[in-house]
Amino acid sequence: MSKLVKSSKIDKTFISQSFENLQEAICQELEILDGKAVFQEEKWDRPGGGGGRARVIENGNIFEKGGVNFSNVHGLLPDQLSEGLGLSPGHEFLATGVSIILHPSNPFVPIIHMNVRYFEMSNGDKWFGGGIDLTPIYIDVNQAKYFHQSLKDLCNRHDPSYYPEFKAWADNYFYIKHRNETRGIGGIFFDRLTVNPEFTLEDRYAFVKDVGESFTQIYKKLVNENRTKPYGEAEKRWQLIRRGRYVEFNLVYDRGTKFGLDTNGRIESIFMSLPPQVKWLYNYQPQPNSEEEFTLSMLRKGIDWANL
Amino acid sequence: MSKLVKSSKIDKTFISQSFENLQEAICQELEILDGKAVFQEEKWDRPGGGGGRARVIENGNIFEKGGVNFSNVHGLLPDQLSEGLGLSPGHEFLATGVSIILHPSNPFVPIIHMNVRYFEMSNGDKWFGGGIDLTPIYIDVNQAKYFHQSLKDLCNRHDPSYYPEFKAWADNYFYIKHRNETRGIGGIFFDRLTVNPEFTLEDRYAFVKDVGESFTQIYKKLVNENRTKPYGEAEKRWQLIRRGRYVEFNLVYDRGTKFGLDTNGRIESIFMSLPPQVKWLYNYQPQPNSEEEFTLSMLRKGIDWANL
């Protein structure tokens, strides 16, 4: 594959195929990690062009519900999206990517999200985007530090400016304005990757590929450290409340969800991100000095987790 | 009160007070209907001006969770709302209303929503809005017919054009575009009430008052016909799935929710509408010829329920 990179075979077909392979590899690793459930697959076509391969895992040892989606959609850009991009109507687009959200059953295993994506417009514009972010139900400072340090190492393999920039971007993106809370402890987020103009499309692809391939490795340690921790009703209840915040973020703010709805994507694939069970309790306040209160107090922007 | 109406005391102070009284009366009636739980109250202030009185009932005989909100908020209209109304920045607004959503525990008792509201702008514009709509977990055709006939009778007491117009408006408003499903069997919905230009503000107020005062009477029969029906795991599961659709509507489309978020309303009051427990199962399909499949088949616009 590195030979292909050097001879500049990085085009939409190559990228889309590599994302499809990534979905395959991640699903295999997650099935081994879970040890019980297997992914069910649905292929789907998008009426306006393209389609995808949805893979969902349910009722596993680890994963109560999780999805690993590959999609490659193209066609005429819907008018509301043209406007959003400041373009005249009539442009063609292609969007391909892998999107993952995993909802573990044990409240001590964090929810995780990963996405890598490539976008190309008929006017010649093309860019990568992506990110990884973690939503612990109970924040463990050492594990949060490990998570961010791993992302920092990953970024530093490509460019020292990446981690600080993409970490701040994640803080701002995964933010639930109406609650004044971050969704979790953040991670990295990037879109229209254009920092360092001297970088080629190959350089950018190498970074996005590294994000996709590092994901399971980074998450595995967090799963294995927490998977056997005992929990009761109180911890499960807190998990279902926190999952409510996840739903609020995804339905009110998430641009990927909005893009899917605006482009008439397959609804069950877009909403595979929604947790299997959720609670909304009126005016719930954690007990003073509880683990729940500690977690809530740490759901804010600007914490330098890697150096805590 | 009819004396006040005739002597044209219908202004924002009068309307707001009458909405506050309506909240009081409805809460009393719902407590009697429930027979166990009582409303807890929180008064809240809005930083930009005004506030409200939130009333929430939880874990009752009938109501697993329900809210009856009164609010009276005013101040500078946020820029994004000015734009939406086609106004220059700098206008003052006042919005007052009562908003109700009730989530019963028994899946055979339908979810109901009622809202009456009054809006006034510093440029002199003023209007009423409101509606009632029903979301049965299992559609019973006779009960749906009764519900719509009751709304039709209510509308006809004021103007024969109201029911057909507001019924169609509800079909279009309470619609989950991404599912191609209506939220329930609809009802009536109206905003910027201006049909029949010869109607005075008093006439319009009389209609809105009737909507608010008829609500409990209409709903009571549906509660009492269904409250003792036995149910099991399967019916409860279907209820939690249907509640997921309710969340999708409220967070993705509902303008009242959006208005609350855009004007920095009290978040716990805005989200009292969210169900206490919810499920999202991947790609759930009801069994052929089941009650669940029948309900799904009837979640569409344009059904003339009153004449079925």
CA distance A49 to chain B (A): 18
Percent of chain B with pLDDT over 70: 97
Residues of chain A with C-beta less than 8 angstroms from the C-beta of B278? 247, 277-280
Looking at residue B73, what is its pLDDT? 94
Q: Under a CB-based contact definition with an 8 Å cutoff, are residues A108 and A224 in contact? A: no
CA distance B58 to chain A (A): 8
What residues are paired with A133 via a beta bridge? A113, A187
B232-247 confidence digits (pLDDT tens): 999 999 999 999 999 9
CA distance A277 to B237: 11
Mean pLDDT of B58-66: 97
Neighbours of B199 (CB within 10 A): 16
Considering only CA atoms, which of B126, B265, B255, B246 is closest in space to residue B189? B255
**Highest averaged pLDDT of the listed ranges A70-79, A82-91, A177-186:** A177-186
User: Which residues, including other chains, have CB under 8 Å from residue A13's CB and lie 6 or more apart?
Assistant: none
CA distance B299 to B58: 28
User: Which residues, including other chains, have CB under 8 Å from residue B72's CB and lie 6 or more apart?
Assistant: B16, B19, B20, B50, B51, B52, B94, B95, B96
Structure tokens at A114: 């990963």
* Beta-carbon separation of B248 and A248 below 8 A: no
CA distance B242 to B281: 11
* Beta-carbon separation of B244 and A274 below 8 A: yes
Residue B102 has pLDDT above 90, yes or no: yes
Looking at residue B4, what is its pLDDT? 43
Please indicate if any CB of chain A lies within 8 Å of the CB of B281. yes
* Reported confidence tier of residue A302, pLDDT bands at 50, 70, 90: very high
A260-295 confidence digits (pLDDT tens): 888 888 899 899 999 999 999 999 999 999 999 999
Q: Which letter does DSSP use for residue A110 in this model?
A: P
Q: Which letter does DSSP use for residue A84 in this model?
A: H
* Reported confidence tier of residue B8, pLDDT bands at 50, 70, 90: low
Looking at residue A7, what is its pLDDT? 52
Catalytic residues of A: 113
Looking at residue B265, what is its pLDDT? 81
Catalytic residues of B: 113
To the question of pTM greater than 0.90 for the whole model, the response is: yes
ipTM, two decimals: 0.91
Please indicate if any CB of chain A lies within 8 Å of the CB of B268. yes
Please indicate if any CB of chain B lies within 8 Å of the CB of A11. no
Instruction: State whether residue A249 is helix, strand or coil.
Output: helix
Give the rounded distance of the alpha carbon of B180 from its chain centre.
21
Structure tokens at B157: 């007491």
CA distance A21 to chain B (A): 23
Instruction: State whether residue B9 is helix, strand or coil.
Output: coil
CA distance A34 to A223: 9
Residue B86 has pLDDT above 70, yes or no: yes
Considering only CA atoms, which of A32, A25, A28 is closest in space to residue A61? A32
CA distance B178 to A271: 10
Please indicate if any CB of chain A lies within 8 Å of the CB of B178. yes
Amino acid letter, B65: K
Could you tell me which chain A residue has the CA closest to the CA of B284? A268
What residues are paired with A135 via a beta bridge? A111
Q: Under a CB-based contact definition with an 8 Å cutoff, are residues A187 and A131 in contact? A: yes
Number of residues that make up chain A = 308
What count of CB pairs under 8 Å joins A to B?
72
* Beta-carbon separation of A268 and B282 below 8 A: yes
Residue B3 has pLDDT above 90, yes or no: no
First to last CA, chain A: 38
Mean pLDDT of B34-53: 94
* Beta-carbon separation of A283 and B67 below 8 A: no
Q: Under a CB-based contact definition with an 8 Å cutoff, are residues B128 and B117 in contact? A: yes
First to last CA, chain B: 38
Could you tell me which chain B residue has the CA closest to the CA of A58? B282
Looking at residue A2, what is its pLDDT? 43
Instruction: Burial-class residue A268 by CB neighbours within 10 Å (0-12, 13-18, 19+).
Output: middle
Instruction: State whether residue B141 is helix, strand or coil.
Output: helix
Kindly report the backbone phi and psi dihedral angles of residue B304, in degrees, each rounded to the nearest multiple of 5, phi listed first.
-85, 75
* Beta-carbon separation of A282 and B272 below 8 A: yes
Mean pLDDT of A256-262: 87
CA distance B246 to A267: 16
* Beta-carbon separation of B280 and A274 below 8 A: yes
Establish how many alpha carbons lie within 13 A of residue B113's alpha carbon, considering only the half-sphere containing its beta carbon: 24
Q: Would you tell me which residues 31-70 of chain A have a C-beta closer than 8 angstroms to some C-beta of chain B?
A: 42, 56, 58, 65, 67
Mean pLDDT of A100-113: 98
Cα distances from A44 to residues A54, A92, A268, A290, B17, in angstroms, run: 8, 20, 10, 45, 54
Please indicate if any CB of chain B lies within 8 Å of the CB of A202. no
Looking at residue A3, what is its pLDDT? 41
CA distance B203 to chain A (A): 37
Residue A229 has pLDDT above 90, yes or no: yes
* Reported confidence tier of residue A128, pLDDT bands at 50, 70, 90: very high
B176-227 confidence digits (pLDDT tens): 999 999 999 999 999 988 767 788 899 999 999 999 999 999 999 999 999 9
Please indicate if any CB of chain B lies within 8 Å of the CB of A9. no
Mean pLDDT of A35-51: 94
Please indicate if any CB of chain A lies within 8 Å of the CB of B280. yes
Alpha helices in chain B (DSSP H): 2-6, 12-34, 79-84, 141-156, 162-173, 201-226, 233-252, 255-262, 267-270, 291-297
Please indicate if any CB of chain A lies within 8 Å of the CB of B192. no
Q: Which of A178, A247, A268 sits opposite B261 (nearest CB)?
A: A178
Q: Would you tell me which residues 108-147 of chain B have a C-beta closer than 8 angstroms to some C-beta of chain A?
A: none
Residue B116 has pLDDT above 90, yes or no: yes
Residue B81 has pLDDT above 60, yes or no: yes
Residue A12 has pLDDT above 90, yes or no: yes
Considering only CA atoms, which of A183, A170, A288, A174 is closest in space to residue A244? A183
User: Which residues, including other chains, have CB under 8 Å from residue B279's CB and lie 6 or more apart?
Assistant: A276, A277, A278, B237, B240, B241, B243, B244
Q: Which letter does DSSP use for residue A272 in this model?
A: G
Looking at residue B88, what is its pLDDT? 85
Count H helices and E strands in chain A, helices first: 10, 10
* Beta-carbon separation of A267 and B179 below 8 A: yes
Please indicate if any CB of chain A lies within 8 Å of the CB of B157. no
Looking at residue A5, what is its pLDDT? 44
User: Which of A31-45, A161-175, B192-206, B273-287 has the weakest average pLDDT?
Assistant: B192-206
* Beta-carbon separation of A278 and B279 below 8 A: yes
Please indicate if any CB of chain A lies within 8 Å of the CB of B184. no
Q: Which residue has the higher pLDDT, B265 or B68?
A: B68
Looking at residue B7, what is its pLDDT? 52
Please indicate if any CB of chain A lies within 8 Å of the CB of B283. yes
CA distance B257 to A143: 36
Q: Under a CB-based contact definition with an 8 Å cutoff, are residues B82 and B287 in contact? A: no
Residue A108 has pLDDT above 60, yes or no: yes
Select the residue from B101, B253, B280, B281 to test the A interface by mutation, using most A Cβ atoms within 10 A: B280
Considering only CA atoms, which of B45, B34, B43, B102 is closest in space to residue B68? B102
Instruction: State whether residue A9 is helix, strand or coil.
Output: coil
Looking at residue B259, what is its pLDDT? 86
Instruction: State whether residue B185 is helix, strand or coil.
Output: coil
Q: Which of A261, A276, A279 sits opposite B178 (nearest CB)?
A: A261
Q: Which helix (H) or strand (E) holds A82?
A: helix A79-84
Amino acid letter, A271: F
Could you tell me which chain A residue has the CA closest to the CA of B285? A268
CA distance B246 to B240: 10
Looking at residue A1, what is its pLDDT? 39
Q: How does the average pLDDT of chain A come out, rounded? A: 93
